[in-house]
Structure 1
Amino acid sequence: MNAVRTTCPYCGVGCGLIATAQPDGTVTVAADPHHPANLGRICVKGAALGETLGLEGRQLHPQLHGERVSWDRALDYAGQRLRAIIHEHGPQAVAFYASGQLLTEDYYAANKLMKGFIGAANIDTNSRLCMSSAVVGYKRAFGADAVPCSYRDLEQTDLIMLVGSNAAWTHPVLYQRIVQAKQDNPALKVVVIDPRRTATCDIADLHLRLRPGSDAGLYNGLLRAIAEHQPIAAASFSGQLDALAQAEAWTPEKVAQFCDLSRDVVTEFYHLFCTAPRAMTLYTMGINQSTSGSDKCNAIINVHLASGKTGRIGSGPFSLTGQPNAMGGREVGGLANQLACHMNFVPEDIARLARFWGSDRIAATPGLMAVELFDAIGRGEIKAVWIMGTNPAVSLPDSERVNRVLAACPLVIVSEVSAGTDTSRHAHVRFPAQAWGEKNGTVTNSERRISRQRPFMPVPGEARPDWWIVARVAGALGYGDAFAWQHPHEVFCEHAALSGYENDGQRAFDISGLATLSREAYDSLAPIQWPVNAAHPQGCERLLSDGRGWGRDARLRMVPVTPRLPHSADQPGLVLNTGRYRDQWHTMTRTGTVPRLMQHNPLPRVEMHPEDARRYGVEDSALVRLVTPRGEMTGFARLTRDQAPGTLFAPMHWNHQFASRSGVNSLVAAHCDPLSGQPESKQTAVSLAVWQPVWQGWLFSRGAPVLPEAVVRWDVAQAGVHQLRLASDTPDSSGIQAWAAAQGWQVQIAEGAGIIHLLAWHDGTLQLAFYAGRRCPEVNVEAVLAAFAHPPACAATRHALLAGRAASTGPVQGKIICSCFNVGETAIRAAITAGCDSTAALGKALRCGTNCGSCLPELRALLPQRVS
Structure 2
Amino acid sequence: MTDPAQASTIKTTCPYCGVGCGVLATTAADGSVSVKGDPEHPANFGRLCSKGSALAETLSLDDRLLYPQINGKRESWDTALDLVADRFAQTIAEHGPDSVAFYVSGQILTEDYYVANKLMKGFIGSANIDTNSRLCMASSVAGHRRAFGSDTVPGTYEDLEKADLVVLVGSNLAWCHPVIFQRIEAAKATNPALRVVVIDPRRTATCELADLHLGLKPDTDVALFNGLLAYLAEADCLDQSYIDQYTNGFDGALAKAGPVDMAKIAGQTGLSAQDIALFYTMVARTEKTVTVYSQGVNQSVVGTDKVNAIINTHLATGRIGRAGMGPFSITGQPNAMGGREVGGLANMLAAHMAIENPDHRELVQSFWQSPSMATRQGLKAVDMFRAVGEGRIKAIWIMATNPVDSLPDADDVAMALKACPFVVVSDVSTAVDTLAYADVALPGAAWGEKDGTVTNSERRISRQRGFLDLPGETRPDWWALCEVAKRMGFAERFDYADASEIFAEHASLSAHDNDGQRDFDIGGLADLGRSGYQDLDPVQWPVRAGQPRRDSRFFAGGGYFTPDRKANFIAVEAVAPRKRERTYPFVLNTGRVRDHWHTMTRTGKTARLSAHMAEPYAEIHPDDAASIGLADAELVEVKSPHGRVVVRALVSDKAQKGSVFVPLHWTDQFASTGRVDAVVAPETDPVSGQPGSKFTPVALSRVSSSWYGFAILRDKPNSILSDYWALAPAPGGWRLELAGLESTDLQHLAQELGGSAASEAQILSYEDSAGGTSRFAIWDGVHLVAAFFFAAQPVEVSRQWAASLLETPAMTGVDRYRVLAGRPPADRPDPGAIVCSCFQIGANQIADAAKGGADSVEAIGKVLKAGTNCGSCRSEIKSLLGALNEKETANVDIAKAG
Give the match for residue 183 of structure 1: 189
Is 2:55 the counterpart of 1:49? yes
Give the number of aligned pairs: 868
CA distance in 2, matches of 1:175, 1:312: 21
Alignment counterpart, residue 211 of structure 2, candidates 193, 198, 205: 205
Alignment counterpart, residue 812 of structure 2, candidates 785, 794, 798: 794
Decide which moves more: 842-851 or 228-237.
228-237
Give the match for residue 267 of structure 1: 277
Alignment counterpart, residue 383 of structure 2, candidates 372, 380, 397: 372
Is 2:619 the counterpart of 1:607? yes
Structure 2 runs not aligned, ≥5 long = 1-6, 893-898
Give the match for residue 826 of structure 1: 844
Q: CA deviation at 1:628?
A: 1.0
Alignment counterpart, residue 745 of structure 1, candidates 760, 764, 768: 760
Is 2:456 the counterpart of 1:426? no
Structure 1 runs not aligned, ≥5 long = none
Secondary structure of residue in 2 paired with 1:261: coil
Q: Deviations over 1:336-363 (max 9, x none)?
A: 0011111112211111111111112011
CA distance in 2, matches of 1:639, 1:779: 19
CA contact (8 A) 1:217 1:250 kept: no
CA contact (8 A) 1:530 1:539 kept: no
CA distance in 2, matches of 1:219, 1:120: 38
Decide which moves more: 234-243 or 577-586.
234-243
CA contact (8 A) 1:568 1:684 kept: no
Task: Give matches, 1:660-679, under 5 Å.
Answer: 660-679=672-691
Q: CA deviation at 1:641?
A: 1.5
CA distance in 1, matches of 2:577, 2:368: 43
Give the match for residue 374 of structure 2: 363
CA distance in 2, matches of 1:567, 1:467: 42
CA distance in 1, matches of 2:456, 2:110: 11
CA distance in 2, matches of 1:135, 1:149: 15
Q: Deviations over 1:477-517 (max 9, x none)?
A: 11111110011000000000000111132211111111111
CA distance in 2, matches of 1:52, 1:708: 24
Give the match for residue 717 of structure 1: 729
Secondary structure of residue in 2 paired with 1:498: helix
CA distance in 2, matches of 1:706, 1:44: 30
Is 2:428 the counterpart of 1:417? yes
Secondary structure of residue in 1 paired with 2:689: coil
Secondary structure of residue in 2 paired with 1:459: coil
1:814 alignment partner AA: G
Alignment counterpart, residue 500 of structure 2, candidates 489, 494, 499: 489
Secondary structure of residue in 2 paired with 1:541: coil
Give the match for residue 256 of structure 2: 246
CA distance in 1, matches of 2:135, 2:416: 19
CA contact (8 A) 1:450 1:527 kept: yes
Q: Deviations over 1:92-120 (max 9, x none)?
A: 11000000011000000100011111110
CA distance in 2, matches of 1:659, 1:566: 32
> What's the Cα RMSD here?
1.7
Q: Deviations over 1:224-248 (max 9, x none)?
A: 1111223536744211111111112
CA distance in 1, matches of 2:84, 2:384: 20
Decide which moves more: 323-332 or 542-551.
542-551
- CA spacing shift, 1:804–1:24, aligned 2, 3 Å: farther
CA distance in 2, matches of 1:704, 1:33: 39
Give the match for residue 225 of structure 1: 231
Task: Give matches, 1:201-600, under 5 Å.
Answer: 201-230=207-236, 231=238, 232=240, 235-236=244-245, 237-345=247-355, 346-534=357-545, 536-538=547-549, 540-569=551-580, 572-600=584-612
CA distance in 1, matches of 2:551, 2:522: 11
Secondary structure of residue in 1 paired with 2:563: coil
Q: CA deviation at 1:49?
A: 0.3
Q: CA deviation at 1:745?
A: 2.2
Secondary structure of residue in 1 paired with 2:700: strand
TM-score by length of 1: 0.97
TM-score by length of 2: 0.94
1:299 alignment partner AA: A
CA contact (8 A) 2:558 2:565 kept: no
Is 2:824 the counterpart of 1:812? no
Decide which moves more: 856-865 or 554-563.
856-865
Secondary structure of residue in 1 paired with 2:489: coil
1:367 alignment partner AA: G
Is 2:42 the counterpart of 1:36? yes
Give the match for residue 652 of structure 2: 640
CA contact (8 A) 1:607 1:638 kept: yes
Is 2:669 the counterpart of 1:657? yes
CA distance in 2, matches of 1:409, 1:6: 38
Is 2:22 the counterpart of 1:11? no
Q: CA deviation at 1:539?
A: 6.3
Alignment counterpart, residue 749 of structure 2, candidates 725, 736, 747: 736
CA contact (8 A) 1:11 1:171 kept: yes
Identity %: 48
CA distance in 1, matches of 2:590, 2:287: 35
Alignment counterpart, residue 162 of structure 1, candidates 168, 185, 201: 168
Q: CA deviation at 1:274?
A: 1.0
CA distance in 1, matches of 2:824, 2:832: 14
2:29 alignment partner AA: P
CA distance in 1, matches of 2:352, 2:329: 17
2:223 alignment partner AA: G
Secondary structure of residue in 2 paired with 1:648: strand
CA contact (8 A) 1:694 1:730 kept: yes
- CA spacing shift, 1:273–1:650, aligned 2, 3 Å: same
Decide which moves more: 700-709 or 368-377.
700-709
CA distance in 1, matches of 2:378, 2:522: 26
CA contact (8 A) 1:710 1:730 kept: no
2:19 alignment partner AA: V
Secondary structure of residue in 2 paired with 1:811: coil
CA distance in 2, matches of 1:846, 1:745: 42
- CA spacing shift, 1:798–1:625, aligned 2, 3 Å: same
Is 2:700 the counterpart of 1:688? yes
Secondary structure of residue in 2 paired with 1:434: coil
Q: CA deviation at 1:738?
A: 5.7
Q: CA deviation at 1:804?
A: 2.9
CA distance in 2, matches of 1:333, 1:638: 41
Secondary structure of residue in 2 paired with 1:495: helix
Secondary structure of residue in 1 paired with 2:855: coil
- CA spacing shift, 1:412–1:741, aligned 2, 3 Å: closer
CA distance in 2, matches of 1:531, 1:27: 35
Q: CA deviation at 1:249?
A: 3.7
Q: CA deviation at 1:783?
A: 4.8
Q: Deviations over 1:686-744 (max 9, x none)?
A: 11111121222022222232445443210121233122111122420455256358753
Q: Deviations over 1:784-810 (max 9, x none)?
A: 444433442222122222343445553
1:518 alignment partner AA: G
Q: CA deviation at 1:387?
A: 0.5
Secondary structure of residue in 2 paired with 1:382: coil
CA distance in 1, matches of 2:76, 2:755: 41
- CA spacing shift, 1:192–1:708, aligned 2, 3 Å: closer
CA contact (8 A) 2:764 2:817 kept: no
Is 2:850 the counterpart of 1:850? no
- CA spacing shift, 1:733–1:103, aligned 2, 3 Å: farther
